[in-house]
Chains A and B, each alone.
Chain A
Amino acid sequence: GAGVSQSPSNKVTEKGKDVELRCDPISGHTALYWYRQRLGQGLEFLIYFQGNSAPDKSGLPSDRFSAERTGESVSTLTIQRTQQEDSAVYLCASSLVRADSSEKLFFGSGTQLSVL
């Protein structure tokens, strides 16, 4: 497709269950980002992949959160033993990379996660 695709669009889970969120970036985009947006709040950086470099995991809030990316394609964000405070919209974005850092992000529509 032409844009960043995320699935599922909505996920309802029970506290303590594991969830996997998927992101398909735009083809050719070497950079991929995961952000979390809690209701009424701003974007919280989670993790950043750039090509074959080691990912920047500095934003992951706990060891229950992990993410993988295979090459320059699909990424999966996994949340283990979900808690109610994990309820949020999880946004994925991708971009090309330019030396002057001026390249824009293309965002997916997000996955709305609700933990009951």
Chain B
Amino acid sequence: GNSVTQMEGPVTLSEEAFLTINCTYTATGYPSLFWYVQYPGEGLQLLLKATKADDKGSNKGFEATYRKETTSFHLEKGSVQVSDSAVYFCALSPSNTGNQFYFGTGTSLTVIP
């Protein structure tokens, strides 16, 4: 079946620290992979995506590389800011299910000054 497993939170980091949030997936075929972010009091929004193996999605200093060999899509940022405090969701959309989406449980990140 299709599923996403994400690193448990919550995660608390100091400003300018390095961030990694792990995400691994199980899927049939060649899924597209996504990171969505939910800032406090706001709705979910797309942060970045990758549609095929070895693609790197990037946005706002965040990066994630689609690793087919390890079925992973870990989110990284070299220097986090207080404004990055949010809940991050890893998601996949299998290539053969007509745009169905599967989400991880979310990882809460708090960045302290």
Contact = CB atoms under 8 A, between A and B. Distances in A.
Contacts of B46: 104-105
Interface in A48-69: 48, 50, 53, 56
Interface string B74-109: 000000000000000100011101111111111000
Interface residues of B, number: 26
List the 8 closest pairs (A to B, CB-CB), nearest first: A42-B105, A101-B93, A43-B103, A107-B44, A102-B32, A102-B51, A104-B46, A107-B43
A102 B49 contact: yes
A31 interface: yes
Interface of A: 31, 33, 35, 41-43, 45, 48, 50, 53, 56, 91, 93, 95, 97-98, 100-105, 107-110
A110 B32 CA distance: 25
A42 B104 contact: yes
Contacts of A35: 103
Contacts of A48: 100
